[in-house]
Structure 1
Amino acid sequence: MADDGWEGVMGGSQFGAPGSFTPPPAAGDAGSNFISGLLSGQVDDQAAQQVGEGGRHLKSLAENGQFAVNEEGFQAYIKACDFFIDGFSDMITNVYKLANPAQMGGSNYAKAVADFNVQVANGDPESLIPNLEKMRDGVEQAREAMVIARKNYRETEDAHSMTFAKLNEGLRE
């Protein structure tokens, strides 16, 4: 398998190889599928749906104890989520500027271009603004999932530590 830059970061957590997202993914692939969708660079309806569903699925897995992530994986995911969330405000502000027809002149062509920009920005459910908002919601869900998944990982580690301590006690007796 090719190293996509996330290999070393994902050790100790439940992740699979990056690939296409087909809801619901197996627990082992959920994190990679989410990141693959987020980093695909697309802002179309399909990508927005993928990120939104991926974030909700990660959170559901984490809430049900089916997703755990170690500290290193947690930090990498939080960094990716925060990068998107922190940049979202500026990004959406700039896209809202496109939602207002630009003063491009009085020709029919200038009016058509201005109208096209408005349509692309916020003309229908498949335009930029609703899709960016879906992506933001998915990233926020994934961020919440990471906090829960780190807690799950710590609880599992604590349980294993107690089991090994009892085993060691038994061996000493």
Structure 2
Amino acid sequence: MATGAQFGGPPPTPPAGDAGNNFLSGLLDVPVDAEGAKRVNDGAQQFKALAQNGGFAINEEGLQRYRTVCDTFIDGYSDIKADLLALGQAAKMGNSAYAKEVATFNVKVAVSDPESLVPNLELLIDGFKQVKEALTIARKNYSETEDTHSQTFAKLRGGE
């Protein structure tokens, strides 16, 4: 289902003022597979570039709400990171060849290949950090636009 909030490849051209909203609306649909984590990270990079190029702005209330979402994800990961890294140690499951094979497989699934859990969570965390940076830039864009409009209205009223 294409919603305009998809990531990867060239993004569709959204209506004016809608690009940031499209990305943010898909932010909570967080995949944990390698492809999904990469899409979110790539989308976050595009989102940041959009903000850097003045492609969207956000007011203080919006900034705080989205920042809370990002912080919740980032802080939640920080809280469990040590537990997740412990998954990188093979569990003592017995001395049989099968037990050793299962323990090795469990480590691989958790931490030791591009499809494993921990590297993909770290990629998602990087994406959320980039989103926070984009939001800060977008807030600055909003302030600058607001200042410009205030100056324009002051001139129209005969001030300055």
- Place the TM-score, normalised by the shorter chain, in its bin: 0.7 to 0.9
Residue 32 (structure 1) aligned to one of 2, 10, 22: 22
Map of 1:129 onto structure 2: 118
Map of 2:89 onto structure 1: 100
Alignment partners' CA distance in 2, 1:159 and 1:47: 39
Map of 2:7 onto structure 1: 21
Matched-pair contact (CA < 8 Å) for 2:111–2:119: yes
TM-score, structure 1 length as denominator?
Answer: 0.77
RMSD, aligned α-carbons: 2.2
1:42-63 Cα distance to aligned partner (Å, 9 max, x none): 2111221122112211211111
After TM superposition, the structure 1 stretch with the greater mean CA deviation from structure 2, 39-48 or 104-113, is 104-113
Map of 1:78 onto structure 2: 67
Q: Displacement, 1:91?
A: 2.7
Alignment partners' CA distance in 1, 2:64 and 2:125: 19
TM-score, structure 2 length as denominator?
Answer: 0.83
Alignment of structure 1 residues 35-74 onto 2, 5 Å: 35-36=25-26, 38-74=27-63
Report sequence identity in percent.
51
SS at 1:125 equivalent:
coil
Q: Does residue 145 of structure 1 match 2:126?
A: no
Alignment partners' CA distance in 2, 1:120 and 1:132: 13
Q: In structure 1, give the amino acid aligned to 2:22.
A: S
Q: In structure 1, give the amino acid aligned to 2:19.
A: D
Deviating 4+ runs (over 4 angstroms): none
1:69-117 Cα distance to aligned partner (Å, 9 max, x none): 1111111111011111112222322221111111122234432332221
Map of 2:147 onto structure 1: 158
Q: Displacement, 1:24?
A: 3.7
Q: In structure 2, give the amino acid aligned to 1:20.
A: Q
1:45–1:112 CA distance, 2 compared to 1 (3 A): same
Matched-pair contact (CA < 8 Å) for 2:88–2:110: yes
Q: Which runs of 5+ in 1 are unaligned?
A: 1-16
